[in-house]
Amino acid sequence: MIVETLSTFPGMYDSVMGSSMMRIAQEKGIIEFRAHDLRDWTHDRHRTTDDDPYGGGAGLVMKCEPIFEAHDAIAACGPRPTTVFLAPCGRRFDDALACELAREEHLLFVCGHYEGIDERAYALADRTISLGDYVLTSGELASMVVIDAVVRKLPGVLGAATGALDESFSDGLLEHPQYTRPASFRGMEVPAVLLSGDHGAVARWRRERSLERTARLRPDLLGGAELSRADREFLQTLSKGASERP
């Protein structure tokens, strides 16, 4: 996969893309990453990428001309990218969308700054994504979150072959609790079933804890989760137990 970004602060990616799994993904040749400086497609001595908004108002708006020129140049160098804008008006980012993007061959993230981007630039967008109902200083930060969530789903990125399959939201539920050594710490014990060596019992425990945690912390997720008959019976038992408590 080719992952490219277009922004006025390309140096912001150095740490994130040069560390941990993002660095390893590049070393393995699973992704090619390039951060482009939007100022390279400006034509004045100040390398201007923003201007005052028409109609007045506070802040600056990113100009559309360098974005179009940069997009044309990047698209001409290889397969046409799926162009992603980060904006509050976009589709809410979630695990399902991360899976969709992980199937793309070439992603280009256009990152806004300041007050926003000239509306005409959105004609280039194949997808517009929002992380949530809040505002960040820059689209670079939002794109890093999306890139990380997408890249770690690519085959070979995580050490465990199924590492990305058993995480929270992969099946519509929150992940079960995790433990490692020591088995006992300050009076807190690892559940005995995890030390039993009974793989079937461990699998059942993990599923039930995932259901319990989701029902308690994110009950809204249950409506869209794939639940077996056993899952539903377990949830009914939980609900009955909760209703009987004083």
Question: Which residue ranges make up the annotated binding site?
Answer: 112, 131-136
**11's tokens:** 């140096």
**Residue 148 and residue 141 in contact, taking contact as beta carbons nearer than 8 Å:** no
What is the secondary structure of 135-168 as a DSSP string?
--SBHHHHHHHHHHHHHTTSTTSSSSTTTTTSST
Q: What is the DSSP letter of 192?
A: G
Show the beta-strand stretches assigned E in 119-171: 127-130
Q: Which token pair is 217?
A: 């912390």
- CA distance linking residue 34 with residue 32, whole number of Å: 7
Annotated binding site for S-adenosyl-L-methionine: 112, 131-136
Work out whether strand 50-51 and strand 61-62 pair parallel, antiparallel, or are unpaired.
Answer: antiparallel
225 backbone dihedrals φ, ψ, rounded to 5°? -85, 150
What angle, rounded to 10 degrees, do the helices at 139-151 and 95-102 form? Answer: 70
Q: Bridge-partner residues for 128, per DSSP?
A: 85
β-bridge partners, 189: 184
Give the three-class secondary structure for 113: strand
Cis peptide bond upstream of 81, omega within 30: no
Distance in angstroms (rounded) separating the CA atoms of residues 84 and 91: 11
Q: Which tokens in the block code for residue 163?
A: 């590492």
